[in-house]
Copies of this chain bind each other. A is one copy, B any other.
């Protein structure tokens, strides 16, 4: 009886290896079922090491497609050190085109440090934090807004109590050339990949690269440049692999998101119409949008106003909302 998570990978073999992490999970339609998480190892001797992952949430495609390309294009002879690629980390969610795994409801980015005898998502998280992350200097986890949300392109690191590591993380984040960046503080026990990276002794870098359950020419370019820039900065590659080299970009502007009042939430079913665009600078009290009730044409739409000033960071795309949905968020610029 197989339990936990198994694989037959040799992490110290040079060259390119395509394989799977296998998580047994006996289910109705398949008694000996195993979640098969695709993984690609690319190695060329000693050197820097980086883990590139996407698909923590299944419907965030910018990183999934970019890493699928990278799996095919990365020539082991032209790299130095080690690149490990997980293009579809929570693969049941990817195949279902959902944020969370349909097998266990698991949200991989809330599942760390996981449990070696838990649900598939929890076992995967545990393997990543305990076995895979410690083999790498840097963990880069690519996110986006997913199906229901648009999000400003924003890089992110979590605060690290070690000042050197913290500074190194912020440096790497700036390397990605994203227009905005966050330094989040989710605590030592953070259930995110960034918390896991920190606990594993690696430097974690993440970010939001688009949204809407789609990819565009623009979001794919941003993602490609961030990947190329990160690998170059680490010394893994010498030339860009995914996108042609470009000139210098504007510096990353740091933002802060730390108060509940920076988001507006629905408290009843309704239809949301925004009055602003992503990236707009708004002030406290400014009109954020309207909330309609299409079954009550006799009632005026409710005007919604921002509680906090800042830059419009994300917005719910699906017009029809339920109580509890986050409609719009503003982030505060940090100088």
Contacts and interface: CB of A to CB of B under 8 A. Distances in A.
Contacts of A38: 267, 295, 297
Interface in A83-119: 87-88, 91, 94-95, 97-100, 107, 110
A292 B213 contact: no
B277 A296 contact: no
Nearest to A40: B297
Interface in A1-23: 1-2, 6, 8, 18, 20, 22
Interface size class of A (residues with CB under 8 A): 35 or more
A110 B87 CA distance: 31
A147 B147 CA distance: 10
A273 B215 contact: yes
Copies of this subunit: 6
Contact of A265 (B34, B107, B323): B34
A36 B216 contact: no
Contacts of A65: 271, 273, 292, 294, 319
Contacts of A27: 99-100
Contact of A1 (B31, B190, B294): B190
B69 A325 contact: no
Contacts of A69: 301
A295 B324 contact: no
B292 A267 contact: no
A71 interface: yes
Contacts of A35: 324
Interface in A306-323: 314, 316-320, 322-323
A26 interface: yes
Contact of A294 (B87, B147, B276, B322): B87
A275 interface: yes
A324 B120 CA distance: 12
**6 shortest interchain CB distances as A-B pairs:** A32-B326, A268-B295, A61-B319, A214-B317, A97-B320, A28-B99
24 contacts: A8-B260, A8-B261, A18-B297, A28-B59, A28-B147, A30-B322, A31-B99, A31-B145, A33-B326, A38-B267, A38-B297, A61-B271, A65-B294, A69-B301, A91-B323, A95-B294, A97-B319, A147-B318, A212-B212, A214-B317, A216-B277, A217-B274, A217-B276, A269-B295
Interface of A: 1-2, 6, 8, 18, 20, 22, 26-36, 38, 40, 57, 59, 61, 64-65, 68-69, 71-72, 87-88, 91, 94-95, 97-100, 107, 110, 145-149, 184, 186, 190, 192, 212-217, 220, 260-261, 263, 265-269, 271, 273-277, 292-298, 300-301, 314, 316-320, 322-326, 329
